Structure formats: structure tokens, C-alpha cells
Homo-oligomer: A and B are copies of this chain.
């Protein structure tokens, strides 16, 4: 189960979230992820929850306020999760591995919320919420770039452009939800670990110097 309550921050404070509210979040989250925000009607959500549409509006003022906490929670929690597991005293290579693997761990736990948030990013009409979400996303991406820069400074990594390298890493991670099969033989963190190995050491077999020359000629 997803433990969406944790992602939404509903379990920490004094409020006791109704089980119905959690159910609505879970149902809506999966439907948004699978068919998109516009592709899901309030009637759809109500039907799968086994309640009437009017009851849905007893718990939520409008459709946006179902998606918003999910999208915000996913974006904010992913940063808090990787930041909690980061340790700036470790070698940058290990920090990078943790960043990648912990992102996958998080994504596996909150797959639907992640997808729903990333596909419906553009539709929130409330500017403040949109801005806050972008800020958390920026923190997440900045942490990765900080790790890469630390690796350059320590001599562990050899990177021309930190921004480009960051895009490379983020692309591999962010594309995972599109094809990842939870029922497959490899769990997300294992795949992420292999990604990290490939990213660090490259696809190329260690070439003798003359092979490099030959390659350069062939490109021309």
C-alpha cells in the first residue's frame, strides 16, 4: 500500500484523517496517473469510492484540491527523502548513488502520486501552489548538481557541464515511471543501481589509445 497519508502530511498533526479521505486520495491518484487529470471526472472518482458525487464535495471543495496535495506532496517529499539520505561527508560517487537509488525507492512507494504529479504539473490554476511546487523541484535538482560539483572538485568525477550531466541523470530517473513494471523481476532501486553503474563508468569498454584515434576518424 502507498501510505499516502505520510506523503500528504496527514498523520503528523493532531487531525485524524477520515479513512474516506485517504480512500478518495488513493483512488483519484491512480486514476489521474492512468488517464490524466482532464480524463477523470468527479463521477469516476465517486463511483470507484462507492459514494455519490455530492459526498465527494463534502470532503473536497473542488477537483483541483484533490490533485494539489498529491502533486505537492510528491514533489516535496521526494526532495526531503533524498536530502535526508544525503551525507555531504561521503565521497561524491556514493552520494550520487544514494541520490539515484533513493529516488527510485521513493518512486516505487509512491508511483501513482509521482506520475499524477508529473503529468498534471501544468494545470494547477493556483499560482502560489504552482510556485511552491517548482521551488521544491528546484531544490531536488540543485541537490543533484551540488553532488556532481562536489565530485568535480574532489576529482572523483570528470564532467564538462554540470547542468548537462544533471539533465542526463534526471532523464534516466524521470523516465522510469513510464516503463517500470512493479511485477517485473527487478525492483526499482535495483534498476537504479545498475543505471548508476552505467552512468559512472560508461558503456564503452576500456579502449586502447589507438582505438580512440580510429573512432575519431570514423566519425568524420
A-side residues, CB < 8 A to B, are: 34-36, 38-39, 90-91, 93-94, 96-97, 119, 122-123, 148, 151, 155-161, 164-165, 167-168, 170-176, 178-179, 191, 194-195, 198-207, 211, 214-215, 218-219
Contacts and interface: CB of A to CB of B under 8 A. Distances in A.
A170 B157 CA distance: 23
> Chain copies in the assembly?
2
Contacts of A151: 203
Contacts of A215: 91, 93-94
B171 A176 contact: yes
A157 B206 CA distance: 8
Nearest to A151: B203
6 contacts: A35-B122, A156-B207, A157-B205, A164-B195, A171-B171, A174-B178
B157 A204 contact: yes
A203 B204 contact: no
A88 to B, nearest CB: 13
B36 A156 contact: no
A200 B195 contact: no
Nearest to A215: B93
A30 to B, nearest CB: 14
A145 to B, nearest CB: 13
Contacts of A214: 91
A122 B171 CA distance: 21
Given A93-B215, A165-B198, 17 more contacts: A90-B218, A91-B214, A93-B204, A148-B203, A156-B211, A158-B203, A159-B203, A164-B195, A164-B198, A168-B172, A168-B198, A171-B172, A172-B175, A174-B175, A175-B175, A199-B203, A202-B204
A170 B173 CA distance: 11
| Residue with the greatest number of chain B CB neighbours at <10 A, chosen from A119, A160, A174, A203 | A203
